[in-house]
């Protein structure tokens, strides 16, 4: 997202790159035998920051591309819960 935002607003690109660096650092220190939990505050904060970057620049298409996996996962859970709900009654 920070690469897509770079021509429009370089300051937001630096913000996005720092978020990506912090996420890579979190993944590096939380490899095997994970002991750190990001939780709701961390994950919702990252999602909110990505949404804010998209809203400030008007570039929602790169946001949808980068979050496609999460959208598909959410749709999968909704579909599974719907099918599970109809089969139990």
Is-contact 73 43, C-beta < 8 A? no
3-state helix, strand, coil in the chain (%, to 5): 80, 0, 20
- Answer yes or no: pTM beyond 0.75: no
Residue 14 — pLDDT band, cuts 50, 70, 90?
very high
Residue bearing tokens 């999460």: 70
Summarised one tens digit per residue, pLDDT across range 29-87 is: 887 887 777 777 888 888 888 888 888 888 888 777 877 877 888 899 889 888 876 65
Domain ranges of the chain: 2-88
Within 10 Å of residue 12's Cβ, how many Cβ atoms? Answer: 20
Q: At what angle do helices 10-29 and 39-57 cross, to 10 degrees?
A: 160
Q: Which residues contact 23 (CB under 8 A, 6 or more apart)?
A: 46
């Amino acid at each position: 997202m920070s690469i897509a935002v770079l021509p429009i607003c370089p300051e937001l690109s630096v913000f996005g790159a720092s978020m990506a660096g912090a996420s890579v650092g979190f993944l590096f220190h939380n490899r095997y035998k994970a002991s750190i939990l990001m939780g709701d505050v961390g994950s919702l904060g990252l999602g909110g920051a990505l949404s804010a970057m998209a809203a400030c620049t008007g570039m929602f298409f790169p946001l949808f591309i980068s979050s496609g996996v999460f959208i598909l996962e959410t749709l999968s859970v909704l579909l599974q819960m719907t099918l599970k709900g109809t089969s139990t009654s």
